[in-house]
Amino acid sequence: MEVELISHTPEPDIIAAVAAMLTHSKSNFKELKKEDEEKLRKVLRIVIDMGHTSVVEHAYFTFAISGVSRALTHQLVRHRIASYSQQSQRYVEQEMRYVIPPSIAKEFGKEYEEMMRKIWDFYEKMKEKGIPIEDARYVLPNAAHTKIIVSMNARSLLNFFELRCCLHAQWEIRKLAWKMLKLVRQVAPTIFEKAGPPCKTRHECPMNKKDCRWYPKK
């Protein structure tokens, strides 16, 4: 899995903080932006803690993601407030590249790899016989590698991290979420300093999974 933050709103913390201050000030953007940076970050922390996260929607982040499965991207695109551009299996011939879940690798690694070879051999055979790529792809598995570019605003990302950094999320999308969180914290540390699963950020478990090793201790 490779994840790269390829673009983002300049000074996302500051833009969000100024947006928050603007709602209660007669000053204009340029005047507010001249405020002490630490004061701006303090205001932003207060606003986020109060749950008024609409101001962070002004900050956008774009990621290039590769080496992940179609199973992952089927889950990823359920996050509605985002923009997605995914590599097409209809137009791009697929190489034999796929994800092996750790649980399968441990118990059935050899059989799994044999099955993948059979699938791709059949895929190649169909193409050789003139079957269109858009039809031959029907045999490809959820495990097949894909590439996708994703853009989300910070508010959507906070929701994404809350749901997908959780241990209840599937392992692959959870791994992606933590990689994305690490990247955005480098450029927007104030917005994302308390981002993550609710068991870590609010010491509560909405799913009440008491058998989870991260379940908050009273």
Residue 87 Rama label (left phi>0; alpha psi -120 to 50; beta): beta
Cα gap 157→160, rounded to integer Å: 5
Look-up of token digits 């089927």? 74
Active site residues: 164
Composition of the chain by helix, strand, coil, percent to 5:
50, 15, 35
Beta-strand runs (E) in the chain: 2-8, 60-69, 83-86, 145-153
Neighbours of 81 (CB within 10 A): 12
Element (H, E) at 97: none
Beta-strand runs (E) in 55-137: 60-69, 83-86
Cβ proximity of 123 and 136 under 8 Å: yes
Q: Residue 132, Cα to own-chain centre: how many angstroms?
A: 32
Amino acid letter at 204? E
Neighbours of 196 (CB within 10 A): 19
